Structure formats: structure tokens, C-alpha cells
Amino acid sequence: MSVKVKLTPYFRDIVQRNESLEATGHTVREVIEDIDRRYPGFKQECIDEEGNVYSFLEIYINQESAFPGELNRKVNDDDEVTILTVIGGG
């Protein structure tokens, strides 16, 4: 499955300044692993030691939240996966 992955500036140093990438996989986890093979360290910035998406990230598939269970969500050819950073404060 080939999907388009849109990224926030948080990831740009890892992915050589790309705003979006093409990736393959049947689930969001496989898409992240595919990107990590080309850009080592990407997975580490997305998934914690326990195998969960970091709480400061939001993942969307075709502009719909993939929460909960983001990593196991299925993706299809031509889907668009967006990985956003959540900004907090006050």
C-alpha cells in the first residue's frame, strides 16, 4: 500500500526537510517503520519504549483522527496519513 504522509516541522530534520513523503504499509505502524528504514530515528520520534504513540502526537488518516489504536489502523492505497504535534500551554 502506498500512502502520502504529511509531517509537521518537528520531523523535518530527520526527513531531510521534506514536508511530505510516500510510504508503504498496511497499517500506520508499518508506514512509520517504512519511513524509519529510509530516515533512521523517525520511529523513535513517534513511538515510545512501550510501543505507543507519544502523547504529544496526533495521527490522522484522510483527515480523520486515528485515535485510539493509531498504530494498528489499516491504511489503503492513496490514503493520506498526517502526523501532527500537539502544542500545549497557557
Q: What is the pLDDT of residues 60-79, one digit of tens each?
A: 999 999 999 999 999 999 99
Per-residue pLDDT of the chain (90 residues; tens, 9 = 90+): 799 999 999 999 999 999 999 999 999 999 999 999 999 999 999 999 999 999 999 999 999 999 999 999 999 999 999 999 998 766
Q: Which amino acid is at 46?
A: C
Q: Report DSSP letters for 53-64, one per residue.
A: B-TTEEEEETTE
Q: What is the DSSP string of 9-45?
A: GGGTTTTTT-SEEEEE-SBHHHHHHHHHHHSTTHHHH
pTM (predicted TM-score): 0.94
CB contact at 8 A, 83 and 59: yes
